[in-house]
Amino acid sequence: MNGKGKIWMDGKFVEWNNAKIHILTHAMHYGTAVFEGIRCYDTKNGPAIFRLEDHVRRLANSCKMYHMTLQFSEKDLADAIVETIRINNVKHCYIRPICYYGYGKMGVNPLPNKVSASIALWDWEDHIKTEENKGMRVIVSSWARIDSRSLPMHAKATANYANSALARIEAISSGVDEAIMLNISGMVVEGTAENIFIVRDNTLITPPLTSGALDGITRSTVLSIAEHMGINFQICDISRDELYYADEVFLTGTAAEIKSIGEIDKIVIANGEVGKIATQLKSIYHQIVHGDIEKFDKWLTYVN
Ligand SMILES: Cc1ncc(COP(=O)(O)O)c(C=O)c1O
């Protein structure tokens, strides 16, 4: 992996270095691809994929919103993901399925082009690194999050990530780790590739999907953990200023898992550290993905 191993492309395994497509691939020019980010964790029963069905369903929904007719069913894709892990013989990995309009006819209309799919795996341990027990430093981006008047934001489409990439560049060039994005109404939406939660008076608060936030699978997992632990939660709009005086703020995502924020626009949150509730959630999340809590075993697809 990470430069070696096999990548699944339209039903065939190809060597990492041969996993190539034509420069005139439609998706490359017009942003017409949809993808997923999934994780496989090592458990006592071998590698297990976390919430595979939910990810494949979201991918299929993303395809639908982009008028893609896939030659593979959801089951075919789920099986192919399992097979890609088996063939690469890894214990844990990040999984990147992508469906895209391919090479054929240039022009904005993607429909004349074949829809292809591929699945690659790699180690992704270094999402955003912070010192042990320290929170990330972030800014609120000056780039507004695009919303569903422009693009279907519940589709996990590459096009959305041009907006994310500009915000991430803004954060990095400002000397911090990540950016929080506001929608056109000025309400908090999410990070560049993560959902967001604040904690106030021991209650978790996360913006509704109508804010434009992705229907994150880690977000839904955190809400289930809150229910399991008896932590109150609310789904409601969060204004920018509410971020600054929250007791804790953290981001969630498949790649990020649960990542605390220690500073926003130079205002310190939770003493700059990982907060008490985030610590509890992280611990349960870790146990769930590693198959240590039976109640949540339904979310694991064992590879072997
Ligand atoms: C924009 C955006 N929001 C939220 C998330 C978190 O989603 P999930 O928890 O399903 O990975 C992601 C990651 O995929 C994302 O790219």
Predicted pLDDT of residue 276: 96
Minimum CA distance residue for ligand 1 atom 2: 193
Rounded distance between C-alpha atoms, residue 50 and residue 289, angstroms: 6
Q: How far is the centre of ligand 1, averaged over its atoms, from the C-alpha of 105 (Å)?
A: 31
Rounded distance between C-alpha atoms, residue 122 and residue 1, angstroms: 5
pLDDT tens readout for residues 257-279: 999 999 999 999 999 999 999 99
For residue 203 the two structure tokens come to 């209650």
pLDDT tens readout for residues 168-222: 999 999 999 999 999 999 999 999 999 999 999 999 999 999 999 999 999 999 9
Predicted pLDDT of residue 4: 85
Predicted pLDDT of residue 1: 59
What are the extents of the domains in the chain? 6-122, 136-289
User: How confident is residue 84, by pLDDT bands cut at 50, 70 and 90?
Assistant: very high
CATH T-level topology, domain 6-122 = D-amino Acid Aminotransferase; Chain A, domain 1 (3.30.470)
pLDDT tens readout for residues 88-115: 999 999 999 999 999 999 999 999 999 9
Indicate whether residue 207 lines ligand 1 (CB < 6 A). Answer: no
Beta bridge partners of 221: none
Ligand 1 site-directed mutation target among 178, 209, 211, 254, most atoms within 8 Å of CB:
254
Q: How far is the centre of ligand 1, averaged over its atoms, from the C-alpha of 175 (Å)?
A: 23
Predicted pLDDT of residue 115: 98
* 57 within 8 A of 94, measured Cβ to Cβ: no
Q: What is the pTM of this model?
A: 0.97
* 34 within 8 A of 98, measured Cβ to Cβ: yes
156, 266, 276, 298: which is the annotated catalytic residue? 156
For residue 200 the two structure tokens come to 């106030």
Mean residue pLDDT of the chain comes to 96
* Residue 2 predicted with pLDDT over 80: no
Pick the CATH number of 136-289 from 3.40.1350.10, 3.40.50.720, 3.50.50.60, 3.20.10.10: 3.20.10.10
Q: How far is the centre of ligand 1, averaged over its atoms, from the C-alpha of 254 (Å)?
A: 7
pLDDT tens readout for residues 220-244: 999 999 999 999 999 999 999 999 9
* 121 within 8 A of 88, measured Cβ to Cβ: yes
Ligand 1 site-directed mutation target among 195, 219, 259, most atoms within 8 Å of CB:
195
Predicted pLDDT of residue 3: 79
pLDDT tens readout for residues 127-161: 788 888 899 999 999 999 999 999 999 999 999 99
Predicted pLDDT of residue 249: 98
End-to-end alpha-carbon separation of the chain, Å?
19
